Amino acid sequence: MTEKQKTARTLASIAGIVAVATLISKIFGLVRQQAIAAAFGVGVVADAYNYAYVIPGFLLILLGGINGPFHSAIVSVLAKQRDKSEAAPLVETITTLVGGILLLVTIVLIVFAGVFINLVAPGLSETPQGMQVRAIAIQQLQIMAPMALMAGLIGIGFGTLNAADMYWLPSVSPLFSSITVIGGLAILALQLGNQINLPQYAEVGGLILAGGTLAGAVLQWLVQLAAQWRAGLGTLRLRFDWHQPGVKDVLKVMGPATLSSGMLQINLYTDLFFASYIPAAAAAMTYAGLLVQTPLGIISNVILVPLLPVFSRLAAPENWPELKQRIRQGLLLTAITMLPLSALMMTLATPIVQVIYQRGAFKSGASELVASVLMAYGLGMFVYLGRDVLVRVFYALGDGETPFRISIVNIFFNALLDYILVQRFGAPGLILATVTVNTISVVALVWMLNRKLNGLPWQEWTLPILGLTGASFVAGLASWGVSTGFQQVWNANGLLVQLLQLSVSGLVGLGVYALLATRLNLPEVDIFVSRIRQRFGR
């Protein structure tokens, strides 16, 4: 077996591990969101939680998550180190520095929680219901503030474990947060029963949601810390050796990458600023966002986690020809998986939301609102993940400044588009603005990478992506036709009927897409299909 074949098998093995672990984690995340929807619908508790979760959730998902800036920075540096004995001191030094900074952030969040909620959602102060949402959100933010510290520790640990070829635990560990929230809501439901969504219990419900979320983050960190300790990759020791080899390299990537991710958070702040003037918009955006993030997160980890160390090892100029091939592979795998899912999300938005969420406090009106937002989210799935692939290439090249500069420019585009589109489309307009900004980012990143790598065969990449886009469009039409015909022939609203309608429509769409995509004669499609056959043929 050649070295190239060994590398391909290794990547496939890693991708399989990450896919299974992430799938388990995402399923628990979806069940958690179903529990929240059934208990609180799009009412004051759910709305408050979504405003309060903005800052701690951002830190946990982006700084503490796989493929976040901390994870990417650690992997980029540790993957290049030949002396593995230096890993533990480096990790302990970075943990000490980051932990100290994020401890201060935690204190600031607790003390000034009211100020942050006012900045995120100024529209809440204009109505009595909004004032109730604001009061609950402030309490929730104060409870979840320590997640700022947890986020940094988790992100560093994830990167450390991945660099040591440990992929299962980082990918599966986010389920602990879901388990604690589900457990808290189950206890609350046993105590209150059908009264769980009554106004007099709103504050209690908000506290349970926030407490369960914090407990999950702490548990996630403790499990990961135990794995680091056993592998000899660092402990809780405070280390202030700023001259430790690799510290400067990590900070060189981590600093701009964190700021760049922070720019994305400013875009979210802008979205929530406008959403605070639209009743239930924040909750609707979260429910719809999870439906997109569930498949997107799984595929993101499958594509990015195995490729990031490869990008880092190919960063030297003499390896750029192979690096360009890997970039093509990442982008085309993104297109192969994201484009058909995007088409299905847009054409089957309503039955998807009804099957997943419509029960308990989540009524038909909530389904209509969330479905409209889901359609807007679906439109941008490819550019969202495509941008992440390109950003990781810059990180591997030791360049965190270029994505940061692009993110700064996009803040202004996002604010302008939010203002324009929210007046025309309401809550979905906020998502359409984000999709447009992500598209601009992809174009800018490709253009800058083309200059940095002395030319990219981007025209060769564009034609296959256009072909896959056409195949996805036809697949979406097929799904829509089957779904519409199903409703006309069998007009019923039961869960089983809706599930059957969704399943048949989705399978027809995927079948049409598979038939058309295989006719494009793309190597990436052939590889993707052969791996599926191998797995299901066993």
Q: Give per-residue pLDDT as tens, 468-497.
A: 999 999 999 999 999 888 878 776 567 788
Amino acid occupying residue 464: P
- Confidence check: pLDDT of 118 > 80: yes
- Confidence check: pLDDT of 138 > 80: yes
- Give the span between the Cα atoms of 35 and 208, in whole angstroms: 13
258: its two tokens:
């964190």
What is the number of helices (H) and of strands (E) in the chain?
22, 0
- At residue 531 the predicted structure's pLDDT band, cuts being 50, 70 and 90, is low
- Give the span between the Cα atoms of 397 and 391, in whole angstroms: 10
Task: Give residues with Cβ within 8 angstroms of 280, minimum separation 6.
Answer: 42, 43, 47, 366, 369
335: its two tokens:
């297109």
Whether the CA torsion 258, 291, 309, 324 is positive or negative: it is negative
Alpha helices in 380-494 (DSSP H): 381-396, 401-425, 427-452, 458-489
Tokens 């009106």 belong to residue: 365
Task: Give residues with Cβ within 8 angstroms of 161, minimum separation 6.
Answer: 167, 169, 170, 224, 227, 228, 231, 233
- At residue 3 the predicted structure's pLDDT band, cuts being 50, 70 and 90, is very low
- Give the span between the Cα atoms of 27 and 344, in whole angstroms: 19
Alpha helices in 44-174 (DSSP H): 44-52, 54-58, 69-78, 87-111, 113-120, 128-144, 147-163, 168-172
What letter does residue 124 receive in the DSSP assignment?
A: G
- Confidence check: pLDDT of 147 > 90: yes
Ranges 244-248, 353-357, 364-368, 518-522: which has the least confidence? 244-248
What letter does residue 280 receive in the DSSP assignment?
A: T
- Confidence check: pLDDT of 297 > 60: yes
Tokens 């600031």 belong to residue: 108
Task: Give residues with Cβ within 8 angstroms of 455, minimum separation 6.
Answer: none
- Give the span between the Cα atoms of 120 and 488, in whole angstroms: 44
In order, the DSSP letters of 299-361 are HHHHHHHHHHHHHHHT-SGGGHHHHHHHHHHHHHHHHHHHHHHHHHHHHTHHHHHHHHH-STT
Q: Terminus-to-terminus CA distance in the chain, angstroms?
A: 22
Which of 255 and 187 is assigned the larger pLDDT?
A: 187
Tokens 């809780």 belong to residue: 236
In order, the DSSP letters of 162-204 are HHTT--HHHHHTTHHHHHHHHHHHHHHHHHHGGGGGSGGGHHH
- The predicted pLDDT at position 538 comes to 47
Task: Give residues with Cβ within 8 angstroms of 165, minimum separation 6.
Answer: 14
Whether the CA torsion 15, 30, 257, 243 is positive or negative: it is negative
**pTM for the full predicted model:** 0.72
Q: Write out pLDDT tens, residues 247-281.
A: 777 777 667 666 666 666 677 778 888 888 888 88
Percentage of the chain lying above the pLDDT 90 cut: 26
- Confidence check: pLDDT of 437 > 60: yes
Amino acid occupying residue 456: L
